[in-house]
Amino acid sequence: MRPETQSDPVCPLCERPIPPHAKQSVHHLVPKLKGGKGGPTVLLHHICHATVHAHLTEAELARHYASIDALRKHPDIAAFVAWVSTKEPAFHAPTRGRRRGRRRI
């Protein structure tokens, strides 16, 4: 594994570098289904992205959490950020959360 460099993008949620070998994904600040198609996006670690969607519905994201600052203020996301910020930049684990708005049959 190569060391992280200053040229690696930084996840705006957890503020850790995103090395090329790390799982990563693009997050639409306003969900596409709620009018965000073609809108602003940010590159996040996959674990950070999955955590956002595990705790917030698309409607909540569109109405109240359409910015990184707003996301970081959500209590569950803030607790996650405090925890994950101590991990190595390429860290990945299964995401735990409520999966609100999704029913399993």
Mean pLDDT of 61-83: 96
Residue 5 confidence (pLDDT)? 55
HEC readout, the chain: CCCCCCCCCECCCCCCECCCCCCEEEEECCCHHHCCCCCCEEEEEHHHHHHHHHHCCHHHHHHHCCCHHHHHHCHHHHHHHHHHCCCCCCCCCCCCCCCCCCCCC
- At residue 104 the predicted structure's pLDDT band, cuts being 50, 70 and 90, is very low
Average pLDDT score over the chain: 88
Share of residues in the chain with pLDDT > 70 (%): 85
Share of residues in the chain with pLDDT > 90 (%): 75
Mean pLDDT of 55-70: 95
Residue 103 confidence (pLDDT)? 39
Q: Which residue has the higher pLDDT, 29 or 4?
A: 29
- Whole-model pTM above 0.75? yes
1 pLDDT higher than 80: no
Residue with tokens 């409520």: 98
